[in-house]
A and B are shown apart, each in its own frame.
Chain A
Amino acid sequence: MSDAAGMAQQGERIALLKVLGPIHVWALGVGIVLVGEFMGWNFSVAKGGAYGSLIACWIIGLLYTCVAMIDSEVTSTVAAAGGQYTQAKHIIGPLMAFNVGLYLVMAYTMLEAADALVVGDLIKAVAIDSGYADFDSRPFTLVTIAFLALLNYRGVFVTLTVNFVITAVAFIAIVVLFLGVAPWHPGQTLIHRELLTQLPYGWLGVVAALQFGMWYYLGIEGTCQAAEEVRSAGRSIPLGTMCGMITLLVAAAMTWYVATGLMPWEYLGQAVTPLYDAARLSGSKSLQTLLFVGTLFSAVASANGCINDASRAWFSMSRDRYMPMWFGAVHPRYRTPYRAIIFLVPIAISFAFTGLLDQVITFSILSGLLGYTFMSINIVKFRRQWPLGSINRGYIHPFHPIPAIVLAILCIATYFATYLGYGTSLLSIMAFYIMASIWFALHRYKYVKRGDQFTMDWPRPKNY
């Protein structure tokens, strides 16, 4: 993409560039999520045992399949950056839109911080292994964020093309590990018969495991943030999202099968890097190296996608004056929301430098969960106000309203699961969003141009 072709001239209206295709959408969605296969999902094993983790994997897989289907339908008609924020603005109202926008920004910024922390910790582990005990991981956390911020600043096409490459490498690493432990010869390397046990904490443990089951898939809904930069939103978003969801279901299944066949649940439930540990247990140095690279790449890809998504959400909110409009600027040469990218970087760095991986991740998960709850309400209103045939939909999800009902029920179950383990965090985060909502309603909303809110070329809603 030449600079001359991309350079906007003063006097024209500036816009984000429509340069992305389905593989970029796949790279964005899977890239954000795949790190959860390399670390984090296994905490569900500590809650519910290996079988509890598997049940959580299926149930949360169902939750996210509903998310992917619902999101694909709405996003195929709402071709704008901001994703679920823009959907909420059109379908529900400004206060819901503000909250959803904030969920997106916080979820992705916190996840970016966590990913950068992981990169620093991985390099620290290598340093300690080579005999250098006195090691500060912060410069590597910082340079990760700096490099990815620069990539995002310089253009979305290169950002997501790089993401495609490193995400593909990370996924291939999981596949190679799966093949490398010879699953077709049970008992040779994988010893499920010896390691799998009954549910250690019963069905309550399975419920508690749901929270960490989200790590297999958390972030796939981020594909819709690319809606304003794809060449064909009606085709690319559903195709990239659904292919991404299938990729994640396959990766989750392989991850669970390999890890539970090599490690007892008591160890697996607290391992920091379960797939890397599995590679070490396989006895193959090549697999060990490959899985280290895969873990590193997955964390970098996730942080990269998070910077992309958080900045688009902040940019969209600013463009609508939900946040200061100054952040709604587009770079004239690189056609990126550069001020939004710059603004969110110090926030991510400050959270990453706390070193509190657990708290940062919990904030991200809960913000995401609030967003999924909104989606179930959103699609019901969307279908009711704009029935099939009233507007052009690039994708129509099947069996409505069953996915919306299933999604709502599973969200409630996951809130309960989160309350069991992180009740204080859950209440704190709820309080944060309530305070933010009060600020928006009493102070910020007066700056919003109400007449400019509805931008989609849709007919008047049914019965309006």
Chain B
Amino acid sequence: MNFWPWLSNAAWGISILIFAWILIDAFRVHRDYDDDFLMSSTEGKE
């Protein structure tokens, strides 16, 4: 099998998997936490 087409397809696939993971995780956070809490960070304060 030609190496480069395989590598290209792998790159597309890995990218899709990574973005899917990120979006699923972000959705879970949105579902499990209040937005008021997630956006409670204040400049200049801990």
Contact = CB atoms under 8 A, between A and B. Distances in A.
B33 A332 contact: yes
Contacts of B25: 153
Interface stretch (A39-47, A131-139, A268-276): A131-139
A342 B2 contact: no
Contacts, number: 102
A319 B44 contact: no
B12 A320 contact: no
A86 to B, nearest CB: 7
Nearest to B16: A146
Interface of B is mostly: helix
Contact of A142 (B12, B21, B33, B40): B12
B14 A146 contact: yes
B29 A146 contact: no
Contacts of B46: 13, 15
B22 A10 contact: no
Contact of A14 (B2, B15, B21, B41): B41
Interface string B9-22: 10110110011011
Interface string A227-240: 01000000000000
Contact of A10 (B14, B37, B41): B37
A127 interface: yes
A450 B39 CA distance: 18
Given A153-B22, A455-B45, A14 B40 contact: yes
Chain B interface residue bracket vs A: 20 to 34
B11 to A, nearest CB: 4
Interface residues of A, number: 47
B4 to A, nearest CB: 4
Interface of B: 2, 4, 8-9, 11-12, 14-15, 18-19, 21-23, 25-26, 29, 33-35, 37-46
Contact of A316 (B34, B39, B43): B43
A10 B34 CA distance: 8
B35 A143 contact: no
Contacts of B19: 146, 149, 345
Contact of A329 (B11, B22, B38, B43): B38
Given A328-B39, A329-B38, A339-B26, A143 B44 contact: no
B12 to A, nearest CB: 5
Nearest to A79: B44
A149 B42 CA distance: 24
B6 to A, nearest CB: 11
Interface string A39-81: 0000000000000000000000000000000000000000111
Nearest to A16: B41
A16 B26 CA distance: 17
Contacts of A147: 14, 18
Interface string A189-229: 00000000000000000000000000000000000000010
Contacts of A328: 39, 41
A13 B42 contact: yes
A330 interface: yes
Contacts of A135: 4, 8
A332 B29 contact: yes
B11 A142 contact: yes
A150 interface: yes
Contact of A326 (B14, B39, B45): B39
A456 interface: yes
B43 A457 contact: no
Contacts of B42: 13, 15, 319, 455
A25 to B, nearest CB: 19
A17 B9 CA distance: 37
A11 interface: yes
A462 B16 CA distance: 55
